Amino acid sequence: MTLWFLRGLRTGIVTTRYPAELDAWTETLPAPPRFRPELLTEQLADGLVDVCPFGALAREGDELVVDLGACTSCGLCVEHGAGAVVPGTVFELASPRRELLVKRVPIRGGP
């Protein structure tokens, strides 16, 4: 404690930084899913839109619109996605603008 105090006086550093590297356990935290466009068919995309209980998914033409802000990381789309949807790992999603949280996934699979 005394050493920390003296170091603070000497260097002027009074706080430690936000963790530059996250702890290993944070990998198990729920995070919004990620998508494989080449496995995503239009039929599957419509099914995913229906299965999302929070309206985080929508279909616009040949794109799947994913609203990370509305996503609760519940995993229903991963369960329903037949390999086209995989669990995500990034959970530090703070954004100064709402529209940055809306992502678009092209639908490339299917006939």
Partner 1 sequence: MTVSHDGLADELRRRALGLFARSLHIRTVDTGSCAACESEIRLLSAPPYDLHRLGFFFTPSPRHADLLLVTGPAVRAMDIALHKTFVATPDPKAVIAVGACALGGVYHEDRFVHGAVDRVVPVDVYVPGCPPSPIALLQGLLVAVGRLEERVSALSPIVDAGAGP
Task: State the residues that interact with partner 1 by CB under 8 A.
Answer: 15-16, 18-19, 22, 26, 29-30, 32-38, 54-56, 66-74, 83, 86, 88, 90-98, 100-101, 103-105
CB of 43 to partner 1, least distance (A): 19
Total count of residues recorded for the chain: 111
Q: Which residues of 28-58 are buried (b: 16+ CB within 10 A; e: fewer)?
A: eeebbbebeeebbbeebbeebbeebeeebbb
- Map tokens 């706080």 to a residue: 15
Q: Which is nearer to partner 1, 19 or 111 (CB)?
A: 19
Q: Which is nearer to partner 1, 6 or 90 (CB)?
A: 90
CB of 86 to partner 1, least distance (A): 6
Q: Which is nearer to partner 1, 2 or 15 (CB)?
A: 15
DSSP string, 6-33: HHHHHH---SPPSPSS--GGGGGS----
Q: Which is nearer to partner 1, 55 or 110 (CB)?
A: 55
